Chains A and B, each alone.
Chain A
């Protein structure tokens, strides 16, 4: 039943053969019914595995745990270098000035902590929430004429919701979320195995970072008129930039403020 060429058919299917060997296998496939049937099976198996089998993703909780572990590890390194000066400073303060001085020293150390970028944290958390819960999409549709009007009743802005399926970015729906005190519209795209949330909210003159990275998620920001945008995903940076370019070229959003 199994032809001696079967293994090469697998390799051909996996694009592991050079051009010459691939041409040989193609000629063989024209005459060998077993191998032609095998090739069809391989396609069926692959699409079942890629489309129907569960792909397990790291939970938000695990991402937080890993961030904590890396913080500890990272902190250990920098603390080791600083520990001597820190200890002598503290000892001197305690023996000299007592509790007030100690409090002052602690306050000094607290001020040295970088202030967390609340917006980036907000967006990352909203993205994580959407991946973990059923709150991924409020309106499921690949049709811009369904998604965009839906925003009108639920959010402060109506960003473009264009399906870029032919470019590899399928529109899967829209959602309302709450970002930086605003009712944000979220357009949800799927790119391969990745989900890309594109947040849009009304903003003033506040400064946005161009891009940020948090817990392994990229955040790309841009502005169009008085609308702030942020794409969040674990997809590659270049893939995300392709999508943001498509959106930016798709037309200006309309604010209803």
Chain B
């Protein structure tokens, strides 16, 4: 294994899940998150020699986002399949363990997870991405600005708007499901 490969494995691959999670939240069928992440990791590997920063995660996520935009642009140009912006609730929810072992609460959590997934998916992409980067990846405004190429002020207002939209849609979804009349 070359030195560069070893450094890459140590510094970049620990962020592979973050890269995949972002790609998975950005990409819509027919785009494939696996392909986007594979492409991004190859580009990152080629560019790693010239990477001088000390903060790998935003650097990698920026590459992932660029690869997504490239793939989305190509798919749009071929025109045979439209890029659907609204996600179908995923059939591939992670079957990962929860803290609560009893089946009933596990089922409730899975249902909540599925509905939350569907609600987040209805957010326009520029709002969805800041939400994912801030709340799931715990990145700072500055790092999100680096990844999205937007000024910090724009990141702030998009984030505030995204949170507002999520709350609104989540509540209307919950009420729609439970037929709550107040």
Give me the interface of A with B, judged by CB distance under 8 Å. 6-7, 10-11, 14, 16, 41-42, 44-46, 48-50, 52-59, 61-63, 65-66, 69-70, 73-74, 77-78, 131, 134, 136-137, 140-142, 170, 172-173, 188, 193, 195, 213-216, 218, 234-236
Contact = CB atoms under 8 A, between A and B. Distances in A.
A54 B13 contact: no
B112 A45 contact: no
A6 B163 CA distance: 12
A53 B93 CA distance: 10
Given A70-B45, A73-B45, A57 B20 contact: yes
Helix, strand, loop or mixed for chain B's interface?
Answer: helix
Nearest to A165: B99
- The 3 A-B residue pairs with the shortest CB-CB distance in the complex, in nearest-first order: A216-B13, A56-B24, A58-B20
Given A66-B37, A66-B38, A7 B24 contact: no
A73 B113 contact: no
B123 to A, nearest CB: 12
Contacts, number: 138
Interface in B153-179: 156-157, 159-160, 163, 166-167, 170
A173 B97 contact: yes
B141 A14 contact: yes
Contacts of B97: 136-137, 140, 172-173, 188
B136 A50 contact: yes
Given A41-B167, A236-B14, A216 B9 contact: yes
A227 B94 CA distance: 33
A10 B156 contact: yes
B86 interface: no
A228 B173 CA distance: 51
Interface of B: 1-2, 4-6, 8-10, 12-14, 16-17, 19-21, 24-25, 33-34, 37-38, 41-42, 45-46, 90, 93-97, 99, 101, 109, 112-114, 116-117, 120, 131, 134-136, 140-141, 156-157, 159-160, 163, 166-167, 170
Contacts of A213: 6, 9-10
23 contacts: A10-B159, A10-B163, A11-B141, A14-B159, A50-B135, A52-B112, A53-B120, A54-B116, A54-B117, A56-B33, A62-B20, A66-B16, A66-B37, A66-B41, A69-B38, A131-B96, A140-B101, A172-B97, A173-B97, A216-B12, A216-B13, A216-B14, A234-B13
B42 A49 contact: no
A16 B160 CA distance: 14
Contact of A63 (B16, B167, B170): B16
Helix, strand, loop or mixed for chain A's interface?
Answer: mixed
A218 B127 CA distance: 34
Given A172-B99, A234-B17, 15 more contacts: A45-B167, A49-B116, A49-B166, A53-B113, A56-B25, A62-B20, A62-B34, A131-B96, A136-B96, A140-B101, A170-B99, A188-B97, A215-B9, A216-B9, A235-B14
A14 B94 CA distance: 27
A117 B19 CA distance: 27
A69 B21 contact: no
Nearest to B17: A57
A195 B134 CA distance: 21
Contacts of B117: 53-54
A62 B92 CA distance: 15
Given A11-B156, A58-B20, A141 B101 contact: yes
A50 B120 CA distance: 13
A74 B41 contact: no
B41 A48 contact: no
